[in-house]
Amino acid sequence: MQILLTGGTGFIGQSLARRLLLQGHALTVLSRDPAKASALFGAAVTVWPSISQWHENTHFDAVINLAGEPIIDKAWTAKRKQALLDSRVGITEQLVSAMRRAHRKPYIFLSGSAIGYYGDCGPAVCTESAAAGRDFAAQLCRQWEQAARKAEAFGVRVALLRTGLVLARHGGMLKKMIVPFSFGLGSRLGNGRQMMSWIHLDDYIGALLFLLDCEDCHGAFNMTAPNPVSNQQFSRELAGSLKRRVLFSTPEWALKPVLGERSLLLFGGQNVPPGKLLGHGFQFRYPKLADALKNIAVN
């Protein structure tokens, strides 16, 4: 396939790009940092600094959109919120506009989203048919998905990647957690009852490639493992995989003044099973957290 990938220099995007290249696909990476993309992939990929290079006669069989500024790293000022919107909704709108102008449309558009779409689910199970939450992160995801779905109007199959907590040693949430947990300083968050819907990076890449080829797969997909766990259990199992114990808890009142609205991302919970992936026959290599963490610990 001829594939256009955004977000290719992120930790998920890098792993995905290498898998796509191993499978023999022709890959174009859209990046605001073309020098970094070129350094990562060399001559194996075509690097575009701007979507304006997509002309009417350019053809891609598939577009995979993983672009987006990190959501929790900086305070949600009005300026930061706009930057988050631009990096998700804005780039998605540009991609859809380019598809609309293209003489030959892509067959498939895999577009990023997140389980933050559901807001704080509390004890409820959130399937793909659940409504969007009302907080900023949820509404950001809702707008992001709405922008992507517009490609359906001209015959493109759209699959929305409602991504959970992607686990890998070299990136994402786990990279930040491993050091304190390794020194026995890890803690649960609040009462630890909030649910965490996670997925091993290998399964995430596998599920994405599954959706790429599954002609009947469209709409929203929870990109999560089948066995969500509470924050307390996650903390205990992560510590155990590192031969440590969890001795502390971090109360919400201690972080909320610092994080503001962002505190919902840590102290809110989502019990989000991958119902549609399982229904279409996708098989997970790491359906249980203990196996996922064991694999990560030795790699």
- DSSP code, position 131: P
Q: pLDDT tens for residues 277-292?
A: 999 999 999 999 999 9
In a domain, residue 140? The reply is: yes
Mean pLDDT of 225-254: 90
**pLDDT reported for residue 129:** 96
In a domain, residue 259? The reply is: no
Per-residue b or e along 257-287, where b marks 16 or more CB atoms closer than 10 Å to that residue's CB: eebeebbbbbbbbbbbbbbbbeeeebebebb
Q: Could you tell me the residue range of the domain that residue 110 belongs to? A: 2-167+198-226+273-285
Q: Which residues contact 136 (CB under 8 A, 6 or more apart)?
A: 76, 81, 261
pTM of the model: 0.95
In a domain, residue 65? The reply is: yes
Q: pLDDT tens for residues 135-161?
A: 999 999 999 999 999 999 999 999 999
Domain count, the chain: 1
- CA distances to 107, 116, 117, 134, 162 from 141, rounded to whole Å, are 23, 7, 5, 11, 9
In a domain, residue 115? The reply is: yes
Element housing 290 (H / E) = helix 289-297
CATH code, 158: 3.40.50.720
Q: Contact at 8 Å (CB) between 207 and 245?
A: no
| The two structure tokens encoding residue 101 | 């102008």
Q: Which residues contact 108 (CB under 8 A, 6 or more apart)?
A: 61, 62, 63, 156, 157, 158, 159, 211, 212
- CA distances to 110, 128, 157, 206 from 213, rounded to whole Å, are 11, 20, 11, 11
pLDDT band at 185; cut points 50, 70, 90: confident
In a domain, residue 265? The reply is: no
Q: Which residues contact 220 (CB under 8 A, 6 or more apart)?
A: 113, 117, 128, 145, 159, 160, 162, 276
pLDDT band at 181; cut points 50, 70, 90: confident
In a domain, residue 176? The reply is: no
In a domain, residue 244? The reply is: no
In a domain, residue 20? The reply is: yes
